[in-house]
Structure 1
Amino acid sequence: MAQSKGVFSKRFWLKSLKRLLIVVLLCFISFWVLDKLFPLPIDDFEQRNFAQLVVDSEGKPLRAFPDSQGVWRYPVTLDDVSPLYIEALVNYEDRYFYQHPGVNPFALMRAAAQAIYHGEIVSGGSTLTMQVARILEPHEKTIGGKLHQMFRALQLEWHYSKDDILTYYLNYAPFGGTIEGVEAASFTYLGKSSKDITASEAAMLAVLPQAPSWNRPDLYPERAKVQRNKLLERLAEFEVWSVDLIDEIKQEDVWAEYNTQPVLAPLLSRELMTRYPDQRLIKTAIDRNLQTELELSVSDYIRDKEDGLSAAVIVMDNATSMPLAYIGSADFANPDRAGYVDMTKATRSPGSTLKPFIYGLALDKGLIHSESLLFDVPQSFEGYKPKNFSEHFNGAVSVSQALGRSLNMPAVQVLNEVTPEYFYTQLTNAGLKLSLPQSASPNLSLALGGGGATLQQLVGTFSAVGNGGEATELRLHNEQPQKKLPLLSQQASWIVQDILRQIPLNNHLRNQYLQPSRQIAYKTGTSYGSRDAWVLASNQKVTIGVWVGMPDGSFSINNSGRTTAVPLLERILKTMPNDWLKPIERPAKVTMADICWPLGTLASLQSDENCHKKRSAYLIDDTAPATFSDPLSSDWHNGLVKVQLDAATGKRVNNQCFDGSVDIKEVALWPKSLEPWIAKPFRSDSLLPEYAESCQVNVSSNKLRIVGLDPEAVIYAEPQKQKLPEVQLRAEGISGEPYWFLNGRLLESQLESEHQIALKDLTRGRYEVIVVDETGAFSELNFSVEH
């Protein structure tokens, strides 16, 4: 009997096990069939929209663009979130998350028992996987809805890993209103990334999705604190966090504020969002503190300026070619200043900002050195007659003076030697293709802004000044390849930057910004009609570009690189750390030596008699090129003129008037073009020996002179009249077109004819009038005015 009973028991258990296996198999087959018939919305799970987020160098949002439903949701991975939050979340919501298959039957039974005991639902028994299922497919709170949720949870566990499911929760958990995901919630309420939150903040965020509106920490901090402390008690019960840490957190109040969506570097963010519409997280190199400070500074600076005026600023890191600060307009929220227009991309005339590269290329071609003698005088280059911004001419100037003072005529003179075609080609090869009028070819106007460029392009090109001669293209995004494009040699770029960094930013406080820790090379520019004011600055660390003007390209009052752009650069430099503004070490192949004017070559190779003015110059490879040829003297070669002297008297003779014994002497003469501007001892009449009596040439009848007023005359107002009379002057002996100057300023509006001028509204003082013709002949007249 006992044996029969044992056999029956064995058969019973085998039969029961078989039935169980059949049930399990049927359940599995049913699940498999249902999974095929009702698949997970895979696309929704893997590709649901995120807000497009542009972040700074530390990963903090600069600007966010919501998804198609207006939801703010920032993408994160498990590694992007603080482990404290993961611990708090899992132990509060689903302690056995990593053990169950998506549904926890024990949690469901507990929830059912609690509901029966309390007469109401106390807990839902949902796992994190079930919560993800509800987020994926919202349902009504019914038994059918719960069963559907459980089925989806099992599907999720079947198709995805635990980490995938948890990552989905981190990105899509509801935190109230249009805020979804822990990263968006952390930035919204705490102003920082979820990877940087404290234990107290992690606990607060972990409980928030249970009732986000009711426990909103910025509005109801006490409610949020109660819920946070409930979580802390559970963590203490499960011994997840130490008792000391939990006690310390409980003493803390909940503090949060609702941060409106970030709007830093808004125009850069908009540009990147447009360029990369499918990229959810876009990283930049923006320095958040610098960007914030400069946005406020630019907005404050422009506030009291002319109506409609705007400004744009880029601070680029030379090492990465990426912007550390990017301000596309002066005030993004101000429509009166067209704040929505990104002026860093606007093509405008660059004014004089490209002059450094004219001189740099000339240095590399061996045409000049840093102190070469240039001609700041009226010249015509096949009909092109530029003049300086001040309408003054300065005569003899050095390369360093011409570049430092941004004189126009010397720049055009050097570009004429370099050739516009070569200049344009080198800039193009370095990434700057100037926009030229249709069918136009490169010409000498390029020296003064004849072409178009954007601030982004100019910053990339100007970085060659501080970057050893290598230009670059501004990279807005780290996925853009970095380009280093040769423009100048290291030696030429150093000489150019050394000249430019000597220029004081503030003319009244010369040394304020030239301390060794704050040195930077800069160049201003102003386009025709004061439409665009520029300043570009560069050293080894950064390149800075500033533009000020009207967004619509209209005329602006008193807008120039010096008056409006440089003061803004001064503000920018005040924000820079000292180690960003260090001088650049001089290359070994740049040496210093004495040269002499007017010849321009090494003083050691010249006689003392021919060395009229000695200057210390920077040379490349110890080479000192000679002064350019004089356009008014075809026989002037390197400044040396050979003259014949009577061997007996030492006076000047020639073959037509003398047949005796002669000596040959080389005399260094200044270019004839410069004679009206140089001191009398340096003029050819003073330097060349006197002619012998038999060889004197009568030139008095053809000599250029000014008539209408005696030399050194004093003019007084007529009795009982407050106003001085007009001074009428006329030039005689003119050859070609004359140029009239009053105290160095070119006169055009007061010309009554080519040979006559009327001086009006003179005030008390001393005046110098000079007239120069196309052959270089000139006459000067000095007079005074008294009241």
Structure 2
Amino acid sequence: MKEKIIRFMRARAAWVRRNRIRSGIALVLVVWYYFSLPQTLFSAPYATVIESAEGELLGAKIAADGQWRFPAQDSVPEKFRKCVVYFEDEKFYYHPGFNPVSMYKAFVQNRKAGKVVRGGSTLTQQVVRLSRKNKKRTYFEKAVELILSTRLEWRCSKTEILDMYAAHAPFGGNVVGLEMASWRYFGVPSEQLSWAESATLAVLPNAPSLIYPGKNQFRLREKRDRLLLKLRNEKVIDGQTYALAISEPLPQKPFALPQVAPHLLQRVAKSRPGARVRTTIDVHLQQRVNQIAKYYYNQYRQNDVNNLAILVIDTRDRSVISYVGNAPTDAAHQKDVDIIGAPRSTGSILKPLLYAGMLDDGKLLPNTLVADVPTQISGYKPENFNLTFDGAVPAHRALSRSLNIPAVLMLKDYGVNKFYEELQHFRLRDISKRPDHYGLSLILGGAESNLWDLCRTYAGMTSTLNYFNTHQGKYRTKEFAELNYDSGFSPDFGKESFQKTILGAGAIWLTYNAMEEVNRPEADEAWKFYDSSQKIAWKTGTSFGNRDAWAIGTNSRYVVGVWIGNASGEGRPTLTGVSSAAPVLFDIFNLLPRQHWFSPPLNDLEEARVCVLSGHLAQPDCPQITQWVPLKGRITTVCPYHKLVHLDKTRQFRVNTSCEQIENMVTENWFVLPPVMEWYYKSQHIDYRPLPPFKEGCAGAQTPTMDFIYPKNTAKIYLTKDFNSIVQPVILKVAHSERESEIFWYLDRNFIGTTKTFHEMPVTPADGMHEITVVDQNGNEIRRKITIVR
């Protein structure tokens, strides 16, 4: 055998030497034949298509050339495959790309008729013709198609050829491809087509003009039924199926494509135009969230609030399981704008990040008292939403009640630059200006962020805590990974490490416990009294001018983010995070599976003795409790508010050795706040006991008993005018620890009046620098220097 092969090869080589020209021509022809078929047959643009995690169509965006052309499916449904083969090319699975018998019959019939009455093209030839943009039908073009068809048969399997045909065949109008035709004419995916529907679509590429609604119905039905009869005769379908199929009506009008997540479709179309993307969206949840969005839109638009956005995240893999980029509003209110990625004023939504950062850095403990008094810092005067003051409030309550003044004072203590760097680690990309551009207003909405980045941040925090608890106190280096809507994508969370990524698990757990105490919306105030209530760590925010209402919440698996407002930036008086965004948040959490609350990350916490009243680390003179604190909590300050005081036997007066015998003194622990904090604190806490006055005749230093509420030292004050152009006075305010004490006011050493009980003094100084002096009846004196500008 081997010798025969060798003799054959030698004979061929000898023939080539004797026929060099013929051999060269043959080689050129072979090379031309091999490369005659383009590597990419179809270069036309495709529609962008998104599907749910379950494979259901969520929406599609038309291709760049104005054609509804879906990307090719992995496979063609068996019903359509049978129908199109029996209608177009019965010998499809047997010929090499062309059918000479069929071509001969077509040639004879067309010649007799003097026109084209029958086509002899195989499905393979039709694929080639479609790829060549349906060039004019000539005998030369037929010859080219024949050659390219044989080449295509060599390159691709029969199944692949049929898939290409189904994806690029014309189905009438600007509808191209089986999948789009199935949705357009029957409103279902192609795998759900009946035999009658599959037969209808199988005959359309042969005469796509037949599909126009209300026209050519008789011809279309005749072609469809003839194909169904053929399928019955060939025993592809049985008689009963045939009888039912021919009784089905023809399509009468086109169906609209599903638009379940239109703004996610926009997002995908920008990054992956012409792709078919199976997303992570839960279609059933998405439909329910759409209903909630529509319900609240109909409610809020009555108050001229026309836009909203909702994002739901599964924190396990950062997958987006629901995406509502805007309300079902109209074009006049920018319905096509995807607000999820739009920068909006943050309001109070960043406060938990500051609280967590300070806990993690050892700057405070959960119950540490923070001042809540009238404050002015370098001309910046923050105010609480309800325009009241608590004097002093535990840090976790300041967060749960979203008090502005404590947040500003906490940021001042933590440092704007440090908090700014923390936000950069979270990759809040819209906070991009220099820290001094924002100043202390950074914590109250002076910066902008977007729902996508904020939800990613909270998802990263939740996942940090979960992973720490389930992996023996370890973190992941890329825990704050990007959110993902592509079901085929696996996020990279980096390597395991004992070093925290941004925040420690202990600080996050304590922050979530504080957020879980946030007052819920009006309709859900009694949530704690129901066994079925969900524990959710959540926070609202309202921007200046009531332009933006935020609510973001998390449990151990999901993060839900809500924004409500107007895309135009117009504010509305009743628009707030707690009244507008929070109800939406809780309605969505009620759709989600219930989750267990976070376990305490014991490896990142330790027990500490904490002062009951001040929340600081306890000193020996404090009433104490044991509390979980972050590992760095040990470096926080010891309670500065408890001190030992000496009283007489009646406990009505303070004494010292100058006025009382030591054996007659009673020593007692006393909780004492600074005067301004005390002034407001005691109005909120009836059990607060001011220090008793000193007994008459006692000598020695006296404890300061009063302080300025307003103004702060060296403040610059601008006097304003009313509607009658009359200059309005500035109101000076002082707090005194002894309620009935009388104090005396001086402006530049000139006496201007006295006050008792409520210490407020209106003055209208001239422009320039002035000194305010206040003296109480015991001779205690305080001063302030101010600058007046009209």
Coarse TM-score class (shorter-chain normalised) = 0.7 to 0.9
2:763 is aligned, of 748, 753, 765, to 753
Provide Cα deviations, 1:26-61, integer angstroms capped at 9, x if missing partner: 999799749949975727614232223333334444
Offset at residue 415 of structure 1 (A): 2.8
Q: Distance in 1 between matches of 2:264 and 2:78?
A: 33
Aligned to 1:298: 293
Provide Cα deviations, 1:354-387, integer angstroms capped at 9, x if missing partner: 1112222232234444333333223455654422
Aligned to 1:336: 332
Contact 2:311 2:560 in 1 (8 A): yes
Q: Distance in 1 between matches of 2:581 and 2:225?
A: 56
Q: How does 1:336-485 map to 2 (within 5 A)?
A: 336-381=332-377, 384-433=380-429, 435=431, 437=433, 440=436, 443-464=439-460, 466-469=462-465, 471-477=480-486, 482=491
Contact 1:702 1:733 in 2 (8 A): no
Q: Distance in 1 between matches of 2:151 and 2:408?
A: 76
Which stretch shows the higher mean deviation, 637-646 or 266-275? 637-646
Partner secondary structure for residue 552 of structure 2: strand
Q: Does 1:127 align with 2:122?
A: yes
Partner secondary structure for residue 315 of structure 1: strand
Aligned to 1:284: 279
Aligned to 2:508: 493
Q: 1:703 to 1:40 in 2, by over 3 A?
A: closer
Which stretch shows the higher mean deviation, 446-455 or 192-201? 192-201
**5+ residue gaps, structure 2:** 1-20, 466-478, 494-499, 710-730, 735-741, 748-757, 766-775, 783-790
Which stretch shows the higher mean deviation, 159-168 or 171-180? 159-168
Offset at residue 97 of structure 1 (A): 1.7
Aligned to 2:577: 561
Q: Distance in 2 between matches of 1:472 and 1:655?
A: 66
Q: Distance in 2 between matches of 1:649 and 1:131?
A: 106
Offset at residue 456 of structure 1 (A): 1.6
Q: Does 1:521 align with 2:521?
A: no
Q: 1:509 to 1:701 in 2, by over 3 A?
A: closer
Aligned to 1:13: none
Aligned to 2:184: 188
Aligned to 1:175: 171
Q: How does 1:512-591 map to 2 (within 5 A)?
A: 516=532, 518-574=534-590, 576-577=591-592, 579=593, 583-588=597-602
Contact 1:647 1:661 in 2 (8 A): no
Aligned to 2:101: 106
Contact 1:330 1:337 in 2 (8 A): no
Q: How does 1:546-695 map to 2 (within 5 A)?
A: 546-574=562-590, 576-577=591-592, 579=593, 583-588=597-602, 596-600=611-615, 610-611=622-623, 619-620=628-629, 638-643=640-645, 652-654=654-656, 665=667, 667-672=669-674, 673-676=676-679, 677-678=681-682, 679=685, 682-686=688-692, 691-695=694-698
Aligned to 1:266: 262
Aligned to 2:7: none
Partner secondary structure for residue 209 of structure 1: coil
How many residues matched?
A: 684
Offset at residue 350 of structure 1 (A): 0.5
Query: What is the letter of the counterpart of residue 325 of structure 2?
Result: G
Partner secondary structure for residue 440 of structure 1: helix
TM-score, reference length from structure 1: 0.73
Query: What is the letter of the counterpart of residue 526 of structure 1?
Result: T
Contact 1:311 1:329 in 2 (8 A): yes
Q: 1:416 to 1:649 in 2, by over 3 A?
A: closer
Query: What is the letter of the counterpart of residue 415 of structure 1?
Result: L
Which stretch shows the higher mean deviation, 395-404 or 643-652? 643-652
Q: Distance in 1 between matches of 2:227 and 2:145?
A: 25
Query: What is the letter of the counterpart of residue 763 of structure 2?
Result: S
Q: Distance in 2 between matches of 1:419 and 1:654?
A: 42
Aligned to 2:10: none
Partner secondary structure for residue 313 of structure 2: strand
Offset at residue 733 of structure 1 (A): 2.7
Contact 2:370 2:393 in 1 (8 A): yes
Offset at residue 523 of structure 1 (A): 0.8
Query: What is the letter of the counterpart of residue 568 of structure 1?
Result: V
Offset at residue 144 of structure 1 (A): 5.6
Query: What is the letter of the counterpart of residue 578 of structure 2?
Result: R
Partner secondary structure for residue 205 of structure 2: helix
Q: How does 1:214-253 map to 2 (within 5 A)?
A: 214-215=210-211, 226-241=222-237, 249=245, 252-253=248-249
Contact 1:218 1:258 in 2 (8 A): no
Aligned to 1:761: none
Q: Does 1:733 align with 2:743?
A: yes
Partner secondary structure for residue 326 of structure 1: strand
Contact 1:312 1:328 in 2 (8 A): yes
Offset at residue 669 of structure 1 (A): 1.6
Partner secondary structure for residue 522 of structure 1: strand
Contact 1:110 1:125 in 2 (8 A): yes
Q: 1:471 to 1:387 in 2, by over 3 A?
A: farther
Provide Cα deviations, 1:190-244, integer angstroms capped at 9, x if missing partner: 3333244445543433233222332568977776555444333333444445666
Query: What is the letter of the counterpart of residue 123 of structure 2?
Result: L
Q: Does 1:507 align with 2:507?
A: no
Q: 1:735 to 1:593 in 2, by over 3 A?
A: farther
Q: Distance in 1 between matches of 2:211 and 2:244?
A: 21
Q: Distance in 2 between matches of 1:643 and 1:702?
A: 15
Query: What is the letter of the counterpart of residue 103 of structure 2?
Result: L
Contact 2:658 2:699 in 1 (8 A): no
Q: Distance in 1 between matches of 2:535 and 2:217?
A: 51
Q: How does 1:7-26 map to 2 (within 5 A)?
A: none
Q: 1:509 to 1:312 in 2, by over 3 A?
A: closer
Q: Distance in 1 between matches of 2:781 and 2:582?
A: 38
Q: Distance in 2 between matches of 1:529 and 1:101?
A: 74
Contact 2:37 2:148 in 1 (8 A): no
Q: Distance in 2 between matches of 1:650 and 1:551?
A: 62
Which stretch shows the higher mean deviation, 420-429 or 253-262? 253-262
Offset at residue 175 of structure 1 (A): 0.9
Contact 1:313 1:344 in 2 (8 A): yes
Query: What is the letter of the counterpart of residue 86 of structure 1?
Result: R
Q: 1:280 to 1:464 in 2, by over 3 A?
A: closer
Q: 1:118 to 1:47 in 2, by over 3 A?
A: closer
Partner secondary structure for residue 458 of structure 1: helix
Q: Distance in 1 between matches of 2:707 and 2:506?
A: 46
Contact 1:431 1:472 in 2 (8 A): no
Identity %: 29
Offset at residue 734 of structure 1 (A): 6.6
Query: What is the letter of the counterpart of residue 425 of structure 1?
Result: E
Provide Cα deviations, 1:465-490, integer angstroms capped at 9, x if missing partner: 54345544333556877465944333
More RCO (CA 8 Å, sep 6+): 2
Q: 1:457 to 1:648 in 2, by over 3 A?
A: closer
Q: 1:694 to 1:199 in 2, by over 3 A?
A: same
Offset at residue 527 of structure 1 (A): 1.5
**5+ residue gaps, structure 1:** 1-24, 630-636, 707-727, 738-745, 756-770, 778-787
Aligned to 2:320: 323
Query: What is the letter of the counterpart of residue 529 of structure 1?
Result: G
Provide Cα deviations, 1:719-741, integer angstroms capped at 9, x if missing partner: xxxxxxxxx9997637899xxxx
Contact 1:286 1:323 in 2 (8 A): yes
Which stretch shows the higher mean deviation, 471-480 or 541-550? 471-480
